[in-house]
Structure 1
Amino acid sequence: MGDANGRTVGRSMRILVTGGAGFVGSHLCERLLADGHEVIALDDFSTGSPANVAHLMRSSRFWLVEHDVTVPFDHEVDRIYNLASPASPARYQVDPVRTTMTNVLGALHALACAERHGARLLQASTSEVYGDPEVHPQPETYLGRVSPVGVRACYDEGKRCAESLVMDFHRQGRASGRIARIFNTYGPRMAIDDGRAVSNFIVQALRGEDLTVYGSGSQTRSFCYVDDLVEGCLRLMEHPVEVGPVNLGNPVEVTVLELAQEIVRLTGSASRIVFRPLPEDDPRQRRPAIDLARRTLGFEPRVALRQGLYATIQSLRAALAGAGEGARRREAALAS
């Protein structure tokens, strides 16, 4: 049974979240448990961490399974959220072939699991499928401007292929699919070395280092707080007919330079802002058109950028303190 927005009401399900120990995955697992479901988090910990879900391990309805999604897997579940993939250029360019395989084989294996058990699957796609867009903001009907041979292609094309697999399984009646095109997301539990603009700027500011802005900083992004994103994913998964792709993100657009300046203000840092050459294939503009999500899902981001940045700063400040304490303990152990 669903409510007016398509969300499940009064039915407990068993749900698999691939990439469940990652930044977004851990928040999704937390929300699903709070809604009364059983949750299996699958992760190989290449970019995720058991620490992200340590607080969930107390629940008898939560299981953490170490597994690489490029290898087939099988769990009897009602829903599958396929989030397994490195998500920042700093992470996915380290091993681009593995990134492609994680996205393509991961989607294939998740779909095969869904087909075996009659589960519904939500594929976490990305705004990167639009590439460096010539249309602004980007609606779901825009086919994108992506280089299949560029340094970002492992991620961009891997996600585009995953979308194709979901749609083919869905059209053939083999598995019920949903596609969420996720735009820039931030919030607590971002890794210190995540490599994305928000976490990079916050860590640099908290350490008193220069904030590195690439290009002139005039390129724009739209930042969605993780709780808002999770809400959108849940609504799309439980919608009775909408398959997507559906853009999920915050349509409020800011320049990268404005973001850096705001983070310096919120942290009270004395850090300077310095400029470096723009990386290859870095998109100039990125903002979602969310008319479809508003109309079909009742989706509307609630958390303002300043509010979300404050919570993220607090989380990364604690993570940096923990990392510093861990380093001190290791040094003391070596000296003893």
Structure 2
Amino acid sequence: MIVVTGAAGFIASCLVTRLNEANFNDIVVVDNFSIAKKENNLKGKKIREYVDRMEFFNWLEKNYEEVEFIFHLGARTDTTEFNKDVFDLLNLNYSKQMWNACCEYQIPLVYASSAATYGSGKLGYDDEEAMIPLLHPLNPYGDSKNDFDKWALEQTAKPFFWAGLKFFNVYGPNEYHKGRMASVVLHAFNQIKETGKLKLFRSHRPDFKDGEQMRDFIYVKDLVEVCYFLMQNRKNSGIYNLGSGKARTFLDLAFQTFQAMGREAEIDFVDTPADIRDTYQYFTEANMQKLRSIGYDKPFHTLEEGVQDYVKNYLLEGKYY
């Protein structure tokens, strides 16, 4: 059995599809399944068992001998949430419990970290583990992810294989339920469909023109491919960046979305909301050398390829992956 937490969510549901495609059908999915807005993400997938996230460790105690691998992708991911207690419960302490269980039962573990750990990026975007204690995230979500990364590195007891993945700006199918936290591609698609126009955040820094803020956008199909690779190659434990390795502007993304929809580009700029303005990242770009050095050699989708696939094969069709 393979366990996937956060399984009804965006990235994890895509991973379940990738595992099914590789003929792994004994999937145990873990989540808060009372959130009905995510129910379509798991429709049609081959799943052995559904387990509520608060019942999972009791379930694992009874079934650990059958568990081959755990992907711990479940988390509270709202960067505008400032209640630290929520992140301590769902991100930090739950992940510690997962780590300790994997040590006790000798189960390999891949877990989701985040590029939010890098904060303003002043120290760069290199996934050297010696840098992790020096990082200063810009919000409680980033703090929770970095706190767990630091804790994991300090442990003397470790799963025999483990990897923490710092996800950069992920976009792709199955994020319909994410609301404000959905990717810019989905927001752009919805705005263009409704109004024919797109609003992008204005730059509030003189060194970046409007729309030329840059992010490392990674297509979700690339991300789950890396997860699959790590399951098949259980060595070289550690913390890894997971982005495309190439920063692109929001204007690049906008123009690709208009093009994929067959529309003429029409863009307006609006002020970045006050509640996120001070913590807004103007540039992110993953150094992907570490992952490449352990043998991952598949190319990543370019922004053009990823947006075209997402818009034409999923958003325009209303389909899930």
Both structures adopt the same fold (TM-score exceeding 0.5) = yes
Q: Which amino acid in 2 is paired with 1:66?
A: D
Alignment pair present for 1:53 and 2:53: no
SS of alignment partner, residue 160 of structure 1: helix
Q: Which residue of 2 aligns with 1:227?
A: 221
Between the aligned residues of both structures, percent identity stands at 21
1:108-257 matched pairs, under 5 angstroms: 108-136=96-124, 138-141=125-128, 142-143=131-132, 145-147=135-137, 150=138, 152=139, 154-169=140-155, 171-173=156-158, 176-191=161-176, 193=179, 194-208=181-195, 210-214=197-201, 215=203, 216-257=210-251
Distance 2:94 2:197 in 1: 38
Residues of 1 paired with 2:185 and 2:87: CA distance? 22
Residue 265 (structure 1) aligned to one of 250, 253, 259: 259
Q: 1:174 to 1:249 in 2, by over 3 A?
A: closer
Contact kept? 1:246, 1:293, Cα under 8 Å:
yes
Calculate the TM-score normalised by the size of structure 2: 0.82
Residues 299-314 of structure 1 mapped to structure 2, 5 A cutoff: 299-314=297-312
Shift of the 65–23 alpha-carbon distance from structure 1 to 2, 3 Å rule, reads same
Per the alignment, residue 315 of structure 2 pairs with 316
SS for the counterpart of 2:121 is: coil
Counterpart for residue 75 of structure 2: 85
For 1:94 and 1:272, the matched residues in 2 are separated by: 34
Q: Distance in 1 between matches of 2:36 and 2:54?
A: 12
Which whole-Å CA distance do the structure 2 matches of 1:22 and 1:47 have between them? 11
Aligned residues: 296
**Is the CA contact 1:73–1:113 (under 8 Å) kept in the aligned structure 2?**
no
Q: Name the residue aligned to 1:21.
A: 8
CA 1:49/1:83 → structure 2, altered by over 3 Å: closer, same or farther? Answer: same
- The code of the aligned residue for 2:305 comes to Q
Are the counterparts in 1 of residues 165 and 239 from structure 2 also a CA contact under 8 Å?
yes
1:280 to 278, 281, 284: 278
Q: List runs of 5+ in structure 2 lacking aligned partners.
A: 204-209
Structure 1 residues 35 and 166, CA gap change in structure 2 (3 angstroms): farther
Residues of 2 paired with 1:295 and 1:213: CA distance?
A: 37
The DSSP-based 3-state class of the residue aligned with 2:59 is coil
Give, as a single letter, the amino acid of the residue that structure 1 aligns with 2:29: A
> How many Å separate the matches in 2 of 1:254 and 1:200?
17
**Would the aligned equivalents of 2:167 and 2:242 in 1 still touch at CA under 8 Å?**
yes
Please report the TM-score for the alignment, with normalisation by the length of structure 1.
0.78
Post-superposition shift, 1:221? 0.8
Matched residues in 2 for 1:68 and 1:318: separation?
35
Q: Is the 8 A contact 1:189 1:316 kept in 2?
A: no
Give the counterpart letter for 1:79 in structure 2: F
| Deviation sequence 1:217-240 (CA, Å, 0-9, x none) | 221012111121111122234434
SS state at 1:308 partner: helix
Letter in 2 for 1:284: Y
2:207 paired residue number? none
Aligned equivalents of 1:261, 1:88: Cα separation in 2: 27
- CA RMSD, aligned part only? 2.7
Does the Cα contact within 8 Å between 1:205 and 1:271 map onto a contact in 2?
no
Q: Shift of the alpha carbon at 1:157?
A: 0.8
Q: Distance in 2 between matches of 1:224 and 1:249?
A: 5
Deviations 1:280-301 (A, max 9, x none): 2111110111011111132433
Q: Say which SS state the counterpart of residue 297 (structure 1) adopts.
A: coil
- Unaligned 5+ segments in structure 1 are 1-13, 323-336
Supply the distance in 1 between the matched residues of 2:120 and 2:186 (Cα, whole angstroms). Answer: 22
**Displacement of 1:251:** 1.4
Alpha-carbon distance between aligned partners in 1 of 2:145 and 2:221, rounded to the nearest angstrom: 23
Cα distance in 2 for partners of 1:305, 1:293 equals 20
Output the amino acid matched with 1:83.
Answer: L
1:42 aligns with 30
